[in-house]
């Protein structure tokens, strides 16, 4: 049985999920899916910790999509988890980030299952989308080109 709040939230966040999915990101919604990806993946993964906040909508999601489109150093995998919605999946993903404090939205670049670069909310919120995009594109160039 689902309650009205859960149904409402699913309807609200669906377009926020689809924005990344439609851009080629794979959505991981369970802790098992995250663990499997992180333990078995080879190469680089761009991980967006999605959120319902305005800085995710106006900054993090568009910046991630545009950074991938503009860089020649493409990550091998595009991954997203949704903070506040897929709580177990998000917690499992964050467990792979070591001592990095939880932050959403945030963007991580993972190489062979190890955190290589992290952009926390503080480096997203209050910045122009183009700044976040260029920051991420630079990180992708640095990590993916190796």
3-class SS of residue 1: coil
d(CA 34, CA 124): 24
**Choosing from 16, 20, 28, 55, which is the catalytic residue?**
55
| 53 flagged as catalytic | yes
* Concatenated DSSP letters of 70-136: H-SS--SEEEEEETTTSHHHHHHHHHTTTTPPP-SSEEEEEETTEEEEEE-GGGTTTS-HHHHHHHH
**Choosing from 16, 34, 53, 109, which is the catalytic residue?**
53
Going from the C-alpha of 49 to that of each of 1, 12, 25, 118, the distances in angstroms are: 28, 17, 12, 11
Which H helix or E strand runs over 144?
helix 129-144
Question: Which active-site residues does the annotation give?
Answer: 53, 55
């Amino acid at each position: 049985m689902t309650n009205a709040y859960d149904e409402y939230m699913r309807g609200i966040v669906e377009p926020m999920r689809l924005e990344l999915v439609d851009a080629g990101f794979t959505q991981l919604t369970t802790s098992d899916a995250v663990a499997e990806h992180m333990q078995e993946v080879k190469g680089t993964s761009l991980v967006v910790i999605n959120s319902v906040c305005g800085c995710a909508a106006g900054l993090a999601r568009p910046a991630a999509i545009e950074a991938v489109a503009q860089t020649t150093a493409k990550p091998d995998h595009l991954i997203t988890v949704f903070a506040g919605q897929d709580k177990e999946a998000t917690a499992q993903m964050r467990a792979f980030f070591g001592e990095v404090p939880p932050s959403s939205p945030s963007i991580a670049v993972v190489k062979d299952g190890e955190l290589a670069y992290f952009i926390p909310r503080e480096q997203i919120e209050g910045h122009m989308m183009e700044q976040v995009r260029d920051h991420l594109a630079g990180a992708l160039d640095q990590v993916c080109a190796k």
